[in-house]
Amino acid sequence: MEAVPKLIVFSAPSGAGKTTLVRHLLKQEHLNLAFSISAASREPREGEIDGVHYYFLGIPEFKNRIRANDFLEFEEVYKDQFYGTLKGEVERLWSEGKNVIFDIDVVGGLRLKSKFPERCISIFVKPPSINELQKRLKKRKTESAEKIAMRVAKASTEMATAPQFDVIIKNDDLEIAKKEAEQIVQDFINKKVTSSEK
Protein backbone atom coordinates (compact mmCIF):
# COMPACT_ATOMS: atom_id res chain seq x y z
CA MET A 1 0.00 0.00 0.00
CA GLU A 2 1.30 3.40 -0.97
CA ALA A 3 2.14 5.69 1.94
CA VAL A 4 -0.06 8.78 2.32
CA PRO A 5 2.04 11.99 2.41
CA LYS A 6 1.86 13.73 5.79
CA LEU A 7 2.10 17.21 7.33
CA ILE A 8 4.60 17.87 10.11
CA VAL A 9 4.09 21.16 11.92
CA PHE A 10 6.72 22.76 14.15
CA SER A 11 5.63 25.75 16.22
CA ALA A 12 7.32 27.58 19.08
CA PRO A 13 8.04 30.99 20.54
CA SER A 14 10.78 32.87 18.68
CA GLY A 15 14.20 31.69 19.89
CA ALA A 16 13.06 28.24 21.09
CA GLY A 17 15.04 26.51 18.32
CA LYS A 18 12.30 25.23 16.00
CA THR A 19 14.05 26.44 12.82
CA THR A 20 17.26 24.61 13.82
CA LEU A 21 15.28 21.39 14.37
CA VAL A 22 13.40 21.75 11.05
CA ARG A 23 16.68 22.30 9.17
CA HIS A 24 18.15 19.21 10.82
CA LEU A 25 15.14 17.08 9.85
CA LEU A 26 15.21 18.29 6.22
CA LYS A 27 18.75 16.83 5.95
CA GLN A 28 17.50 13.35 6.96
CA GLU A 29 16.80 11.87 3.52
CA HIS A 30 14.99 8.79 4.86
CA LEU A 31 12.20 11.06 6.18
CA ASN A 32 11.40 12.29 2.61
CA LEU A 33 10.58 15.82 3.78
CA ALA A 34 10.03 19.03 1.82
CA PHE A 35 9.71 22.49 3.35
CA SER A 36 6.47 24.41 2.92
CA ILE A 37 7.31 27.99 1.92
CA SER A 38 4.92 30.45 3.56
CA ALA A 39 3.42 33.49 1.84
CA ALA A 40 4.03 36.94 3.31
CA SER A 41 2.52 40.35 2.61
CA ARG A 42 5.71 42.22 3.56
CA GLU A 43 8.64 43.24 1.38
CA PRO A 44 11.70 40.93 1.27
CA ARG A 45 14.44 41.73 3.79
CA GLU A 46 18.05 41.93 2.67
CA GLY A 47 19.22 38.55 1.35
CA GLU A 48 15.71 37.07 1.14
CA ILE A 49 14.64 35.52 -2.17
CA ASP A 50 11.06 35.24 -3.40
CA GLY A 51 10.03 31.58 -3.70
CA VAL A 52 12.93 30.45 -1.47
CA HIS A 53 12.39 32.17 1.89
CA TYR A 54 8.78 33.25 1.34
CA TYR A 55 6.35 33.97 -1.46
CA PHE A 56 6.29 37.78 -1.21
CA LEU A 57 2.81 38.76 -2.39
CA GLY A 58 2.36 42.34 -1.18
CA ILE A 59 -0.74 43.43 0.77
CA PRO A 60 -3.31 43.80 -2.10
CA GLU A 61 -2.34 40.43 -3.64
CA PHE A 62 -2.42 38.70 -0.24
CA LYS A 63 -5.93 40.07 0.44
CA ASN A 64 -7.08 38.95 -3.03
CA ARG A 65 -5.79 35.44 -2.34
CA ILE A 66 -7.66 35.40 1.02
CA ARG A 67 -10.89 36.31 -0.82
CA ALA A 68 -10.18 33.57 -3.37
CA ASN A 69 -9.86 31.06 -0.50
CA ASP A 70 -6.31 30.15 -1.59
CA PHE A 71 -4.96 29.64 1.95
CA LEU A 72 -5.04 26.61 4.23
CA GLU A 73 -4.35 29.04 7.06
CA PHE A 74 -3.29 32.67 7.39
CA GLU A 75 -2.85 35.24 10.13
CA GLU A 76 -2.53 39.00 10.38
CA VAL A 77 0.41 39.01 12.79
CA TYR A 78 0.59 42.80 13.02
CA LYS A 79 -1.54 45.42 11.22
CA ASP A 80 -1.38 44.65 7.47
CA GLN A 81 1.39 42.10 8.03
CA PHE A 82 0.01 38.76 6.87
CA TYR A 83 1.58 35.31 6.76
CA GLY A 84 -0.06 32.15 5.48
CA THR A 85 0.15 28.70 3.90
CA LEU A 86 -1.05 28.45 0.30
CA LYS A 87 -3.09 25.36 -0.60
CA GLY A 88 -1.18 25.14 -3.89
CA GLU A 89 2.17 24.89 -2.08
CA VAL A 90 1.09 21.84 -0.06
CA GLU A 91 -0.59 20.23 -3.10
CA ARG A 92 2.59 20.76 -5.15
CA LEU A 93 4.77 19.00 -2.54
CA TRP A 94 2.25 16.20 -1.97
CA SER A 95 2.10 15.59 -5.74
CA GLU A 96 5.87 14.99 -5.56
CA GLY A 97 5.17 12.33 -2.89
CA LYS A 98 6.84 14.38 -0.14
CA ASN A 99 5.92 14.73 3.53
CA VAL A 100 5.52 18.46 4.13
CA ILE A 101 7.24 20.14 7.09
CA PHE A 102 6.24 23.56 8.44
CA ASP A 103 8.00 26.14 10.61
CA ILE A 104 5.05 28.35 11.57
CA ASP A 105 3.55 30.20 14.53
CA VAL A 106 1.32 28.49 17.08
CA VAL A 107 -1.97 29.81 15.65
CA GLY A 108 -1.19 28.59 12.14
CA GLY A 109 0.10 25.28 13.48
CA LEU A 110 -3.10 24.54 15.38
CA ARG A 111 -5.25 25.57 12.39
CA LEU A 112 -3.45 23.11 10.13
CA LYS A 113 -3.85 20.37 12.72
CA SER A 114 -7.62 21.01 12.91
CA LYS A 115 -7.93 20.75 9.10
CA PHE A 116 -5.94 17.50 8.84
CA PRO A 117 -6.43 15.75 12.20
CA GLU A 118 -4.94 12.44 11.03
CA ARG A 119 -2.47 13.49 8.33
CA CYS A 120 -0.85 16.17 10.50
CA ILE A 121 1.28 16.01 13.65
CA SER A 122 1.72 19.25 15.60
CA ILE A 123 4.97 19.59 17.55
CA PHE A 124 5.59 22.40 20.04
CA VAL A 125 9.22 23.26 20.79
CA LYS A 126 9.53 24.52 24.33
CA PRO A 127 12.52 26.55 25.53
CA PRO A 128 13.92 25.64 28.99
CA SER A 129 12.50 28.92 30.36
CA ILE A 130 11.43 32.43 29.35
CA ASN A 131 14.73 33.73 30.78
CA GLU A 132 16.71 31.37 28.56
CA LEU A 133 14.61 32.45 25.58
CA GLN A 134 15.43 36.10 26.30
CA LYS A 135 19.15 35.25 26.46
CA ARG A 136 19.00 33.43 23.11
CA LEU A 137 17.21 36.34 21.43
CA LYS A 138 19.75 38.83 22.78
CA LYS A 139 22.62 36.60 21.63
CA ARG A 140 21.32 36.70 18.04
CA LYS A 141 21.92 40.49 17.95
CA THR A 142 19.39 40.83 15.13
CA GLU A 143 16.72 42.86 16.89
CA SER A 144 16.24 45.91 19.09
CA ALA A 145 15.60 45.60 22.83
CA GLU A 146 12.01 46.74 22.17
CA LYS A 147 11.43 43.97 19.58
CA ILE A 148 12.96 41.37 21.93
CA ALA A 149 10.63 42.54 24.73
CA MET A 150 7.67 42.15 22.34
CA ARG A 151 8.75 38.61 21.41
CA VAL A 152 9.26 37.63 25.05
CA ALA A 153 5.81 38.96 25.98
CA LYS A 154 4.27 37.01 23.08
CA ALA A 155 6.22 33.89 24.13
CA SER A 156 4.33 33.66 27.44
CA THR A 157 1.01 33.55 25.55
CA GLU A 158 2.42 31.03 23.05
CA MET A 159 3.75 28.76 25.83
CA ALA A 160 0.18 28.53 27.20
CA THR A 161 -0.92 26.84 23.93
CA ALA A 162 1.65 24.00 24.27
CA PRO A 163 -0.85 21.45 25.73
CA GLN A 164 -2.99 21.80 22.56
CA PHE A 165 -0.18 20.28 20.46
CA ASP A 166 0.28 16.54 19.87
CA VAL A 167 3.85 16.52 21.19
CA ILE A 168 6.05 18.89 23.21
CA ILE A 169 9.82 18.77 22.76
CA LYS A 170 11.77 20.57 25.47
CA ASN A 171 14.83 22.05 23.83
CA ASP A 172 17.36 22.46 26.63
CA ASP A 173 19.90 20.13 24.96
CA LEU A 174 19.90 20.56 21.18
CA GLU A 175 21.42 17.14 20.33
CA ILE A 176 18.82 15.32 22.44
CA ALA A 177 16.04 17.48 20.95
CA LYS A 178 17.24 16.62 17.40
CA LYS A 179 17.15 12.87 18.13
CA GLU A 180 13.75 13.15 19.78
CA ALA A 181 12.33 15.14 16.83
CA GLU A 182 13.70 12.61 14.34
CA GLN A 183 12.13 9.67 16.20
CA ILE A 184 8.74 11.40 16.56
CA VAL A 185 8.61 12.31 12.86
CA GLN A 186 9.77 8.85 11.75
CA ASP A 187 7.08 7.12 13.86
CA PHE A 188 4.39 9.46 12.56
CA ILE A 189 5.36 8.97 8.90
CA ASN A 190 5.16 5.19 9.37
CA LYS A 191 1.68 5.42 10.90
CA LYS A 192 -1.25 4.39 8.69
CA VAL A 193 -3.95 6.95 7.88
CA THR A 194 -7.61 5.99 7.64
CA SER A 195 -9.26 6.49 4.27
CA SER A 196 -11.23 9.63 5.24
CA GLU A 197 -8.25 11.98 4.83
CA LYS A 198 -6.52 10.47 1.80
How many whole angstroms separate alpha carbon 120 and alpha carbon 5? Answer: 10
How many whole angstroms separate alpha carbon 85 and alpha carbon 82? Answer: 10
Please answer whether residues 93 and 75 qualify as being in contact, where contact means their C-beta atoms are separated by less than 8 angstroms: no
> Among 33, 116, 13, which residue's Cα sits nearest to residue 73?
116
How many whole angstroms separate alpha carbon 20 and alpha carbon 188? Answer: 20
Flag whether pLDDT at 60 surpasses 50.
Answer: yes
Helix (H, G, I), strand (E, B) or coil at 103: strand
pTM of the complete model: 0.89
- Domain 7-191 matching CATH 3.10.20.30: the answer reads no
Indicate the helix (H) or strand (E) that contains 69: none
Quote helix, strand, coil % in the chain, to nearest 5: 45, 20, 35
Write down the mean pLDDT value for the chain. Answer: 91
How many whole angstroms separate alpha carbon 174 and alpha carbon 156? Answer: 21
Q: How many residues does the chain have?
A: 198
The mean pLDDT value for 41-70 works out to: 95
pLDDT digits 0-9 by tens, 74-124: 999 878 999 999 999 999 999 999 999 999 989 999 999 999 999 999 999
> pLDDT class for 2, splitting at 50, 70, 90?
low
Domain ranges of the chain: 7-191
Largest CA distance in the chain: 53
Helix 145-159, helix 130-140: angle, nearest 10: 150
